[in-house]
């Protein structure tokens, strides 16, 4: 029987992934590893760890593990590493693949909605402002949020990740470059603004997209609803409702008042599920079925 390991079992994503594994129908054996455990040879290892740790672990496991799925941003933009959302680009995993990256949570929700339009509309420019949940920052940030005097309590903080020399945050740069790679649109212009808000779970984004032709709102809603794990609703939907759900929700779709090619909408989705553990579980399912 194939063995699948969760490395970083004590973190937020590791714990969610353990629960997600219950949904996999193909039989396999689960192994879990914390920081102090020796990792045994595995068929698949999911690294639920942060950047420097993931690179060290991937190197250590190179000859011990057939497939590595990494949740961190460490390898996402490397040319030979597929950056995979199974609803969008499963074909980027081939028999030669060893390392697979799972995308940034905010980017995942965004590209789910834009991939749904493929074949009919191509986005030329994408602006988004994010309202990102505390759980997206891992267990330490969640502890900080609940501690007295937290900066994040009853607040919104316009910095996620580190500020780069060009003034962008590292989270904003992920939104640009990961979107281009996943949608295979190397020239699409992405204008991100990322903000942490006092919401415990589920990320939201206000999105403005300029399309290659005038927008037909009914067509866009139809395409979003035909896309797996995505739902458009004319109701108002909030992160509270998206929490614990596998669905990425879109609402408030409207055409720009000045430009018929421009649409505006709101999305919300569980960052720990579709933004992380559910996406990893789907990649593991794909690997177990296909290879």
Ligand X SMILES: NC(=O)c1ccc[n+]([C@@H]2O[C@H](COP(=O)([O-])OP(=O)(O)OC[C@H]3O[C@@H](n4cnc5c(N)ncnc54)[C@H](OP(=O)(O)O)[C@@H]3O)[C@@H](O)[C@H]2O)c1
What residues make contact with ligand X under the rule CB under 6 A? Answer: 7-8, 10-14, 33-35, 48-50, 53, 57, 71-72, 105, 135-136, 138-140, 271-272, 275-276
CB of 14 to ligand X, least distance (A): 6
CB of 76 to ligand X, least distance (A): 10
CB of 252 to ligand X, least distance (A): 23
Q: Which is nearer to ligand X, 90 or 138 (CB)?
A: 138
Joined together, the tokens standing for residue 241 give 């409702």
Does residue 57 contact residue 49 with C-beta atoms inside 8 Å?
yes
Q: Which is nearer to ligand X, 211 or 271 (CB)?
A: 271
With 0-12 CB in 10 A as exposed, 13-18 as middle and 19+ as buried, what is 2? middle
Taking Cα atoms as reference points, which of 102, 101, 109, 163 lies closest to residue 131?
109
Q: Could you count the other beta carbons within 10 Å of the beta carbon of residue 236?
A: 9
Strand-pair category, 248-255 with 262-269 = antiparallel
CB of 192 to ligand X, least distance (A): 16
Q: Which is nearer to ligand X, 98 or 140 (CB)?
A: 140
Q: Which is nearer to ligand X, 14 or 192 (CB)?
A: 14
Q: Which is nearer to ligand X, 223 or 268 (CB)?
A: 268
CB of 263 to ligand X, least distance (A): 26
With 0-12 CB in 10 A as exposed, 13-18 as middle and 19+ as buried, what is 205? buried
CB of 100 to ligand X, least distance (A): 13
Does residue 90 contact residue 177 with C-beta atoms inside 8 Å?
no
Q: Which is nearer to ligand X, 171 or 285 (CB)?
A: 171
CB of 10 to ligand X, least distance (A): 4
Q: Which is nearer to ligand X, 262 or 276 (CB)?
A: 276
| Dmax (CA) of the chain | 60
Joined together, the tokens standing for residue 79 give 């040319």
CA 166 → CA 77, 141, 159, 194, 234, distances in Å? Answer: 19, 25, 14, 15, 38
């Amino acid at each position: 029987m194939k063995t699948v390991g969760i490395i970083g079992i004590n973190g937020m994503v590791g714990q969610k992934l353990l629960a997600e594994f219950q949904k996999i129908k193909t039989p396999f054996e689960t192994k879990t590893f914390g920081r102090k455990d020796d990792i045994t040879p595995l068929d698949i290892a999911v690294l639920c760890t942060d950047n420097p740790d993931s690179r060290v672990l991937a190197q250590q496991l190179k000859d011990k593990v057939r497939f590595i799925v990494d949740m961190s941003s460490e390898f996402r933009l490397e040319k030979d590493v597929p950056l995979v959302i199974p609803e969008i680009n499963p074909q980027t995993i081939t028999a030669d693949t060893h390392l697979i990256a799972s995308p940034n949570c905010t980017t995942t929700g965004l590209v789910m909605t834009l991939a749904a339009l493929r074949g009919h509309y191509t986005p030329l420019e994408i602006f988004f402002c994010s309202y990102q949940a505390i759980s997206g920052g891992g267990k330490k940030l969640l502890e900080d949020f609940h501690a007295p005097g937290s900066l994040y309590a009853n607040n919104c903080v316009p910095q996620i990740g580190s500020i780069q020399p060009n003034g962008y945050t590292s989270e904003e740069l992920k939104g640009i470059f990961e979107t281009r790679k996943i949608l295979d649109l190397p020239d699409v212009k992405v204008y991100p603004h990322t903000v942490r808000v006092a919401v415990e779970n589920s990320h939201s984004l206000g999105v403005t997209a300029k399309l290659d032709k005038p927008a037909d709102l009914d067509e866009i809603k139809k395409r979003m609803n035909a896309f797996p794990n995505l739902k458009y609703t004319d109701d108002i939907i909030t992160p509270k409702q998206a929490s614990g759900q596998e669905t990425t929700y879109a609402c408030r779709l409207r055409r720009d008042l000045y430009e018929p090619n421009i649409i505006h909408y709101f999305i919300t989705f569980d960052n720990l599920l579709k933004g992380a553990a559910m996406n990893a579980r789907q990649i593991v399912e794909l690997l177990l079925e296909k290879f």
